Chain A
Amino acid sequence: MAKIIGGLTTSHIPAVGNAIANKLYDDPYWKPFFDGYPPIRQWLGDHKPEVAIVIYNDHGLAFFLNQMPTFAIGAAREYCNADEGWGIPVMPPYPGYPELSWHIIEHMVANEFDITSCQELPVDHGFTVPMQLFWPDRGPDMPRVIPVSANTVQHPIPTLKRAYDFGKAMGDAIRAWPDDINVVVLGTGGLSHQLDGQRAGFINKKFDEMCMEKIVTDPLALTKISRVELVREAGAQGTEFLMWMMMRGALSEKVNPISENYHIPISNTGAGTMLLECAA
């Protein structure tokens, strides 16, 4: 049977794509951020997961306001990146796993999560930046991917409880896959930031630190946060924390935090990086 071996979190800020393209790993601005990744890459190299579920939020590449799915699951053989309009390098395609995608889709709908399935899904920086951070050389160990996108563009966005429950159902679906494969789940985006309005530039270190603690020890407490409270405390785009909740739901009840890093600012954001290993 498939096994979920751990969860990874990372910010997916577009500027990181440019920093990688320009190899700014030791630049004083970037170093405290990039230093969070080698321990996680080491763990990934040791465990070699065959599949990565990459939870992100599309920022206006695949989806527009004409049709805005609340939850979308990729079911493609490969996922192409594309021009987003402001010049970060376009990545080569990522191999998918459509059979497992459809298994998850069947399970989700049977459990009353009425998702949108996507046989074509252009993936934006929300997907590609985390892949570049965790598998920079795209070597033979780079896992096949299943992108999962949640709407944080347009309110009403899902509640934190719904995001967590979605992750739980998805975790059950993965664990019911008959092949003996190892799976990691990526919760990307966040942490606190706000790009728009007179409150642009808002970052909330205290709230972010609380989220990074509770995501390990007490994710159910986080499901009590209302969406308005999330916007107030994490900023208008800090709602991306929903992706972390989806990731956490898919993991075992107990997790061991193997690695964590937090840095302000990367671009306009408090950037959180974590590796949570599922308890045996």
Chain B
Amino acid sequence: MEIMTFDHHIDIPGTTLFDGRQAMKGYQLNKMCYSFNHKENREAFKADPEAYMEKYKLSEVQKDAVRSLNVLKMIEAGGNIYYLAKLAGIFGLSVQDVGAQQTGMTTEEFKAKLKAQGE
């Protein structure tokens, strides 16, 4: 059942508020990412990502988003950026790399954009 009344964020372009609806959708993906606080779990994921995703019962859509390391697709599938950051960490991606990917820029272009907002 869709809960439309939680959706109070439609008027902020490029922004998905992580609310109850997203929290329900993304629970398994976020739970997997939360497990990456522990080194042995990061190692287990690296050794066999498919088995690790299966263990956490990710949906096919979530698995595809992780396989392609596509952050926008992960968010679409209910991912929360604070937990996704732990997955990004496994791949050595900084928040600027993640920002660049989501905005279709190079990391250098993204950093320049950040700097320009202070000028």
- A residues adjacent to B (C-beta < 8 A): 15, 59-61, 64-66, 82-87, 153-156, 194-201, 203-205, 228, 231-232, 236-237, 263-265, 267-268, 270
Query: Interface-forming stretch among B6-14, B53-61, B62-70?
Result: B6-14
Distance of A205 Cα from B82 Cα, bound (Å): 23
Q: How far is the CA of A200 from the CA of B100 in the complex (A)?
A: 8
Q: Which of A84, A156, A203, A267 contacts B96 (CB 8 A)?
A: A267
A228 to B8, Cβ gap below 8 A? yes
Contact between A231 and B12, CB atoms less than 8 A apart:
yes
Q: Mark B12-53, 1 if CB is under 8 A from A, else 0.
A: 111111111001000100110110111100100000000000
Listed from nearest, the 5 A-B pairs whose CB atoms lie closest are: A264-B118, A86-B89, A199-B14, A198-B14, A85-B86
Question: Which of A60, A237, A264 has the most B CB atoms < 10 Å from its CB?
Answer: A60
Contact flag A196-B113 (CB < 8 Å), given A85-B36, A86-B89, A268-B96: no
Decide if the interface of chain B is mainly helix, strand, loop or mixed: helix
Inter-chain contact A203/B118, CB cutoff 8 Å? yes
Instruction: Report the nearest A residue to B117, measured CB to CB.
Output: A203
Q: CA separation between A146 and B13, bound complex, in Å?
A: 38
Q: With the chains together, A19 CA to B30 CA distance in Å?
A: 28
In the bound complex, do residue B114 and residue A203 qualify as a contact, i.e. CB atoms below 8 Å apart?
A: yes
Chain A residues with CB under 8 Å of B80's CB are 60, 65, 153-154
User: A86 to B19, Cβ gap below 8 A?
Assistant: no
Which of B8, B86, B90, B99 is in CB contact (< 8 Å) with A84? B86
A264–B11 Cα distance when bound, in Å, is 26
Cβ–Cβ contact B13 & A198, under 8 A: yes
Q: Are B18 and A201 in contact (CB under 8 A)?
A: no
Q: How far is the CA of A236 from the CA of B12 in the complex (A)?
A: 10
Q: Please, which residue of chain B has its CB at the minimum distance from the CB of A265?
A: B114
Which chain B residue has the least Cβ–Cβ distance from A200? B99
Whether the pair B118, A205 counts as a contact (CB closer than 8 A) is yes
A47 CA to B8 CA, complexed, in Å: 46
Q: How far is the CA of A156 from the CA of B113 in the complex (A)?
A: 30
Contact A154 B19 (CB under 8 A): yes
1/0 per residue, CB under 8 A from A, across B66-87: the answer is: 0000011001000011111110
By a CB distance below 8 angstroms, the chain B residues around A196 are 15-16, 71, 75, 81, 84, 102
A134 → chain B, closest Cβ, in Å? 24
Determine if B12 and A199 form an interchain contact, defined as CB atoms under 8 angstroms apart.
yes
- Among A60, A82, A268, the residue within 8 A (CB) of B83 is A60
Query: Are B114 and A65 in contact, with the CB atoms below 8 A?
Result: no
A200:B102 contact, CB within 8 angstroms: yes
- 20 further A-B pairs in the complex, CB-CB below 8 A; given A203-B114, A232-B15: A59-B82, A61-B37, A64-B31, A82-B37, A86-B88, A155-B17, A155-B19, A194-B15, A195-B95, A196-B15, A197-B72, A197-B102, A198-B72, A200-B102, A205-B118, A231-B15, A231-B17, A232-B11, A264-B118, A270-B118
Cβ contacts under 8 Å, A228 to chain B: 8-9, 11-12
Is there contact, CB below 8 Å, between B37 and A60?
A: yes
A/B interface sample: 22 pairs, CB < 8 A: A59-B82, A65-B30, A65-B31, A83-B38, A83-B39, A85-B37, A154-B19, A154-B23, A154-B80, A197-B16, A197-B75, A198-B14, A201-B113, A204-B117, A205-B117, A228-B9, A228-B12, A231-B15, A236-B15, A236-B17, A263-B118, A270-B117
